[in-house]
Amino acid sequence: MSAPRIAIVDYDLGNVKSMKNALSKVGAHPILTNSRKEILSADALVLPGVGAFSHGMQQLKKHNLIDVIHSFASTNKPFLGVCLGMQMMFDRSNEFGETEGLGLFSGDIKIVGVGPIKQQKLPHVGWNNVCLPDNIKNWKNTIFAEIQGNTDMYFVHSYAAIPLLNTEILATTLYYDHVFCSAIMRGNIYGVQFHPEKSAEPGLLILKSLIDLA
């Protein structure tokens, strides 16, 4: 069997080289592309991204990628959004004014844990645990299949998703006294707030599971 072809959405944003290297490392054949044909014929899709939500959405529009992303999402092939890529899968964000997202998941993107805690630092940078949420029994048959509960992953962000449906939450993470959604899933569509491509061996296991699902 030849290596699964994984399309990485190319919209001039963020460090896609690391994602490409990480996917190669776990045996995939990654293709950095914004071609409709290449995306739709891929075995899985990764939407990477760092930076501001509004800028990310602008870039997707500029490269005419909104429609093809929706088309891919409606197949049964695995689709993973990473960091800003996950955030853009939601309805909207209020980072620098309200911006509409892709609407693949219901909910909003808001600043992490605005609350009374004064000592909280933002951005949330570093290694933090991903935990199994109450709504699911285990991570079998998901991209977290090979991961133990409470494994550390590498995060760097100031905003996070507030999903409308708790049932779609795949993992949660504690930052100071605030629990936020660090991974989301519905069917073939996944989003992770952390960077699996920068999370050492456990991160690579997540990418390996993604291609195993392809």
Partner 1 sequence: MLKKRVIARIDIKNEFVIKGIHLEGLRKVGNPNDMAKFYYDEGIDEIFFMDAVAAYYDRNSLGGIISKATKSVFVPITVGGGIRTINDIRKALASGADKVAINTQAVRTPEIINKAAKIFGSQCIVASVQAKKIAHDKWGAYIDNGREPAGLDVIQWAIKLEQLGAGEIMVTSIDQEGTKKGYDVALCNLLANSVSLPVIASGGAGSPQDISNLCSNSGVDAVAIASILHYNLSSISAIKSKLHSEGFNIRL
200 is a site residue for partner 1 (CB under 8 A): yes
Tokens of 113: 């844990």
197 is a site residue for partner 1 (CB under 8 A): yes
Choice between 27 and 126, CB closer to partner 1: 126
117 is a site residue for partner 1 (CB under 8 A): no
Beta-carbon count within 10 A of 184 CB: 24
164 is a site residue for partner 1 (CB under 8 A): no
Number of residues counted as binding partner 1 (CB under 8 A)? 34
25 is a site residue for partner 1 (CB under 8 A): yes
Rounded Cα distance, 28 and 183, in Å: 22
Contacting range for partner 1; rule: CB under 8 A; set: 28-36, 104-112, 137-145, 196-204: 196-204
149 is a site residue for partner 1 (CB under 8 A): no
Question: What is the nearest approach in angstroms of partner 1 to the Cβ of residue 52?
Answer: 7
131 is a site residue for partner 1 (CB under 8 A): no
136 closest CA partner among 199, 186, 176:
186
One residue of 98, 174, 179, 187 binding partner 1 per CB under 8 A: 174
62 is a site residue for partner 1 (CB under 8 A): no
Residue 197 main-chain phi, psi, to 5 deg: -75, -5
Query: Residues 75, 76, 80, CA angle at the centre, nearest 5°?
Result: 90
Examine residue 123 and say whether the peptide bond preceding it is cis (omega within 30 degrees of 0). yes
Asked whether 198 and 20 are in contact (CB, 8 A), the reply is no
Question: What is the nearest approach in angstroms of partner 1 to the Cβ of residue 181?
Answer: 16
Asked whether 78 and 213 are in contact (CB, 8 A), the reply is yes
Tokens of 132: 């199994």
Whole-number Cα distances in Å, 56 to 22, 82, 87, 157, 209: 22, 12, 10, 14, 26
Contacting range for partner 1; rule: CB under 8 A; set: 45-53, 98-106, 164-172, 184-192: 45-53
Rounded Cα distance, 47 and 56, in Å: 11
Catalytic residues: 83, 195, 197
77 is a site residue for partner 1 (CB under 8 A): no
Q: Give the interface with partner 1 as residue ranges (CB under 8 A).
A: 15, 17-18, 21-22, 24-25, 50-52, 121-129, 152, 154, 156-158, 174-175, 195, 197-201, 203-204
